Amino acid sequence: DSGVTQTPKHLITATGQRVTLRCSPRSGDLSVYWYQQSLDQGLQFLIHYYNGEERAKGNILERFSAQQFPDLHSELNLSSLELGDSALYFCASSFGLAVSYEQYFGPGTRLTVT
Amino acid sequence: GENVEQHPSTLSVQEGDSAVIKCTYSDSASNYFPWYKQELGKRPQLIIDIRSNVGEKKDQRIAVTLNKTAKHFSLHITETQPEDSAVYFCAAELTSGGGADGLTFGKGTHLIIQP
């Protein structure tokens, strides 16, 4: 157990819908990263938040957005869902700002878009 | 942006033999290279990492080597055991003008340890 929690574990929804994925980082960690894992694209970095502020964006679609709240938990919002958005979404937390701090991954949320 | 190529995609070795997984990267500004292990249905876990000021790092049966000039790094696992069976991902620091932005991952290597 990494100490990072994600909810829900599984999510099944229809195309065009909007969903919110939640991540609680390890106690004391200030950074939260979001990743998407799919068979064809592999593991892709989406976005990084540090202490409530967005720090970096990766391959995140405009239909996706995220935020980190004062209690440091983070939410990833996915809207206008398409079949291709079906994937495993991980968040990871680390103590510091630099990407070289060890990242601890949560168990993931499996999203299925039908 | 950074591009990371990883080979092979599948590697089958006999238990007790060594396994080597290789990665190349494109951004010469990258300074941090972690390796993650992901068992079936589980989360990725960091197993070893290396920074650009070091050429090699070892942790028991696992070692990583880095050649900054050639922009490639490799994972070496010696005396492989059944519990080493998993998918291994290499990654490189994704940088921009303002500093490190995240990690770019290779496509993964499925390591199979044959008994």
pLDDT tens-digit map of B2-31: 789 999 999 999 999 999 999 999 988 889
Q: List, for residues B33-54, the tens digit of each pLDDT value.
A: 999 999 999 999 999 999 988 8
Residue A39 forms contact with B (CB below 8 Å) = no
Q: pLDDT band for B96, please (50, 70, 90 cuts).
A: low
Given pLDDT bands bounded at 50, 70 and 90, which one contains residue B95? confident
At A1-55, the pLDDT tens digits run 889 999 999 999 999 999 999 999 999 999 999 999 998 888 999 999 999 999 9
CA distance B102 to chain A (A): 6
3-state secondary structure chain B: CCCEEEECCEEEEECCCCEEEEEEECCCCCCEEEEEEECCCCCCEEEEEEECCCCEEEECCEEEEEECCCCEEEEEECCCCHHHCEEEEEEEEEEECCEEEEEEECCCEEEEEEC
Count CB pairs under 8 A between chains A and B. Answer: 60
- A 81-100 residues with CB below 8 A of B? 90, 98-100
